[in-house]
Amino acid sequence: MQIASKTVASFHYTLTNDQGDVVDSSSGRDPLVYLHGAGNIVAGLEKAMEGRAAGDKFEVAVPPEQGYGLRDEQLVQQVPREAFQGVDTIEVGMHFQASGPHGVASVEVTEVNEQVVTVDANHPLAGQTLHFAIEVMDVRQAQPEELEHGHVHGAGGHHH
């Protein structure tokens, strides 16, 4: 069976950046399981998975526009230190939840001084080409409930 809309695929992956550094991998873990066509993985990888079958091994480079998007400098903001009431120590690399015009977003602290904290709401991989090495493990028809909910249920997937 080939990966197509309304199928569930499981795969092992290694994700590297342009320098060849491993960013993420399923090595030593269960394969990633997703519902094809439901937007459960980045668009460029989902497109590359189309038509693949169990046993297929391939590599794909996903450009930022089909991955986590381009960096948006408007998502980098300076926030008064007083906005972090109740937080005694703020350090570069810390993550916080922030409310904005589009709802709640995760932000990363990128700079700290006595008056201002600079935060970045871009995804950490925004603006980067994603290099995937893929091994397709299994492909099956999605269950009606999975299609209704838009994600995989059961082993390796979402449990209610």
pLDDT (tens digit, 9 = 90+) per residue, 37-74?
999 999 999 999 999 999 999 999 999 999 999 999 99
pLDDT band at 7 (very low <50, low <70, confident <90, very high): very high
Q: Give domain status of residue 154, yes or no.
A: no
Residue tagged 């007083």 (tokens): 82
What pLDDT is attached to residue 100?
72
Q: Say how far apart CA 64 and CA 84 lie, in whole Å.
A: 32
Examine residue 157 and state whether it is found in any structural domain, yes or no: no
Q: What domain range includes position 86?
A: 73-120
Kindly state whether residues 60 and 130 are assigned to the same domain: yes
CATH number for the domain harbouring residue 31: 3.10.50.40
> Taking 60 as the threshold, does the pLDDT of residue 82 lie above it?
yes
The pLDDT value given to residue 156: 52
Task: Give the pLDDT mean for 122-146.
Answer: 95
Residue 21: inside a domain:
yes
| Whether 56 and 130 share a structural domain | yes
Q: What is the CATH number of the domain that holds 114?
A: 2.40.10.330
pLDDT band at 85 (very low <50, low <70, confident <90, very high): confident
49 in the same domain as 12: yes
Q: What pLDDT does 55 receive?
A: 97
pLDDT digits (tens, 9 = 90+) for 13-39: 999 999 999 999 999 999 999 999 999
Instruction: Check whether residue 84 and residue 17 sit in a common domain.
Output: no
| Cα 121 → chain centroid | 14
61 and 28 co-located in one domain = yes
Q: Are residues 55 and 130 in the same domain?
A: yes
The answer to whether residues 60 and 81 belong to one domain is: no
Digit-coded pLDDT (tens) for 87-124: 889 999 999 988 777 788 899 999 999 899 999 999 99
pLDDT at 155: 59
Domain membership flag for residue 111: yes
* Residues 97, 114: Cα–Cα separation, whole Å: 21
**If DSSP states are collapsed to H, E and C, what string results for the chain?**
CECCCCEEEEEEEEEECCCCCEEEECCCCCCEEEECCCCCCCHHHHHHHCCCECCCEEEEEECHHHCCCCCCHHHEEEEEHHHHCCCCCCCCCCEEEEEECCEEEEEEEEEECCCEEEEECCCCCCCCCEEEEEEEEEEEECCHHHHHHCCCECCCCECC
pLDDT of residue 160: 47
Same domain (yes/no): 60, 35: yes
The model's pTM is 0.82
